[in-house]
Structure 1
Amino acid sequence: MAASCALAGVLALSVTAGGTAQASSSDPLRYVALGDSYSAGSGVLPVDTSNLLCLRSTANYPHVIADRTGARLKDVTCGAAETKDFTSSQYLGVPPQVNALGADTDLVTLTIGGNDNGTFINAITACGSAGLLTAGKGSPCKDLYGTTFTDQIEKNTYPALKSALRAVRAKAPNARVAVLGYPWITPEKADPSCYLKLPIAAGDVPYLRDVQTHLNAAVERASEETGAVFVDFSRVSDGHDACTPLGTRWIEPLLFGTSLVPVHPNALGERRMAEHTMEVLGLG
């Protein structure tokens, strides 16, 4: 997302496309983390000072996975990354993310797609602005934008996701690739007590949830069609959206949150993303 989201077996990894990568207990898994701000943990302290442009945290889910599995992590996640930044430079001095991959890479994790077309940032800011103008009544954002966001996801984001994941596979043919979905930002229904923190009109709360559902579905299809493992957060992140209390929520609200980067995972969210990914992949 823009300024706007593992390892089974230290004994063996079965790959989803082409071959099997073996790693003995004395040879840590070679793990590369790619992706956007949900992968980077943007806004979570402490900050990785090796590249301040990317606003990467050393407590993001890739670091949690690496710490718990003993993997050898190369983290090139970067806030505001889009699918195109996998194969082209995002910033001066920041190489294409797939450059970090190689034939010896055992594991790749990533979240990507939320920044393409400005999907998340545009939807959140548009619906937040509309919600303020109507004092939280009605569905002004849905009425104004209709299927605009979901149409862009189908037309542009989905094919771009497939292209980016094919580039990952080409660079790391022996790796297991795990693509994480985005945890829920909004609840299913409007919570009046949340309006000050997330000023979305009542009718637009399910509308935004539907936009996120479409994005995650596109990520899932692209993952399956390119031989990657999709890590689904639709069930486990339910009840941990930005409207829930601190200590329960995984995602910080737009206003009055605890993170410098709103509408992004907090430290708890990054840990839970790591833990669920490890569970899906069978990593101890």
Structure 2
Amino acid sequence: MAFRAFGGRVAAVAATAGAALVTLGGPAHATGQPLPYVALGDSYSAASGVLPLDPTASLLCARSTANYPHVIAERTGAELKDVTCGGAQTKDFAGSQYPGVAPQLDALSDDTRLVTLTIGGNDNNTFINTILACASAGIATAGQGDPCRTLYGDSFAKDIDGKTYPAVKAALEAVRNKAPKARVAVLGYPWIMPAKAQAGCFLKMPIASGDVPYVRDIQTHLNDAVRRAAAETGSTYVDLGTASEGHDACQTAGTRWVEPALFGTNFVPVHPNAQGEAAMADLTLGALGLR
């Protein structure tokens, strides 16, 4: 997510509201050399908001050494090149996101054997616009009704289908072209909101009760777009839907994998905490058969 803009806007909302080596079957690694692993993606990959920060990364990326790529590398002994960056969009794979931050695809090569990523949530500002628009609408109605659905209808879903899905597919194709021998795992996003309106948490996530399923449906739509793009590019889709059920931002500390907009522990809200990142690593290892 574009965490800098998100953090500032959430503040405004708050004011208004109050070591074994692993091989993947490639002959180049039959000698027991560490697996060349490149981590791409946005703030859900970078674990923006989780300490400690990675001293090798630009501060603008807010990359954590507790992110799921670091967990995967630690568990497998892989040789990690981590270029994840908070706020990344699909366009930042081929272009520089910030001054001094190289295009993410530059990290890939013919030697790369494993690639992981989360991407798509920042395209069209999907996450930011959904949470902030619905939070603002929820505050205006004191948490009653479904003002966000009334105002925005299927506009978010149309953007995901018409813009995000083809952009994610093109990004995955570009990854394939740059790292043709790599296994590519693209993760879905863990649940931010619960499935049922009555399970909402207005004081922590100021979404009107009737909009809780609406926000959840938008995320479902985004994850499905990522899943389709993965399937059509020969990538592995890591489904977090079932596993992250009951670990949304409305749950208590120690249970939730994603921190809420208000009264959370991360310095970047509405992002996975360290527990969530560890779970994402475990699910990715399972999906790749690397447990």
Above 0.5 in TM-score? Answer: yes
The yes-or-no answer on 1:12 pairing with 2:12 is no
CA deviations on 1:229-260 (whole Å, 9 max, x unpaired) are 00001100000000011000000000000011
Distance (whole Å) between structure 1 residues aligned to residue 232 and residue 202 of structure 2: 39
Matching residue of 2:88: 81
Pairing partner for 2:247 from 223, 226, 240 = 240
1:34 matched to 2:46? The reply is no
2:124·2:159 contact (CA, 8 Å) conserved in 1? yes
Cα deviations by residue, 1:201-235 (Å, 9 ceiling, x for unpaired): 01100000000000000000001101100000110
Poorly superposed stretches of 4+, deviation over 6 Å: none
Q: Secondary structure at the match of 1:194?
A: coil
Q: Which residue of 1 aligns with 2:280?
A: 273
Quote the residue 2:2 is aligned against.
Answer: 2
Q: 1:154 to 1:26 in 2, by over 3 A?
A: same
Counterpart code for 1:153:
I
Q: How many residues align?
A: 276
Looking at structure 2, the residues matched to 23 and 53 of structure 1 have their Cα atoms a distance apart, in angstroms, of: 35
Alpha-carbon RMSD across the aligned residues, in angstroms, is: 1.5
Q: Say whether 1:142 aligns with 2:131.
A: no
Aligned residue type for 1:10: V
Which of residues 212, 215, 220 is equivalent to 2:219?
212
Say whether the 8 Å CA contact 2:46–2:67 is kept in structure 1. yes
Equivalence for 1:109: 116
- Amino-acid identity (%): 65
Which range is displaced more, 40-49 or 192-201? 192-201
Give, in angstroms, the shift of residue 2 of structure 1: 1.5
User: Match of 1:250?
Assistant: 257
2:165 to 158, 164, 181: 158
Q: Could you tell me whether the CA contact under 8 Å between 2:39 and 2:115 is conserved in 1?
A: yes
CA drift at 1:23? 1.6
Aligned to 1:100: 107
Q: 2:132 is matched with which residue?
A: 125
CA distance in 1 between partners of 2:23 and 2:263 (Å)? 45
Write 1 or 2 for the structure with the bigger share of helix. 2
Aligned match of 1:168: 175
Check the 8 A contact 2:24/2:113 in 1, yes or no.
no
Pairwise CA distance, 1:192: 6.1
Q: Amino acid of the residue matched to residue 207 of structure 1?
A: Y
Q: Which amino acid aligns with 2:174?
A: A
Q: Secondary structure at the match of 2:197?
A: coil
Residue of structure 2 in register with 1:199 after alignment: 206
| Structure 1 residue 48, shift from structure 2 partner | 1.0
Q: Which has the higher contact order (CA 8 A, sep 6+)?
A: 1
The answer to whether the 8 Å contact 1:11/1:22 transfers is no
CA distance in 1, matches of 2:198, 2:75: 36
Q: Contact 2:22–2:34 at 8 Å: present in 1 too?
A: yes
Give TM-score, length-normalised by structure 1: 0.94
Displacement, 1:193?
6.7
- Quote the residue 2:16 is aligned against: none
**Partner amino acid, structure 2, of 1:233:** L
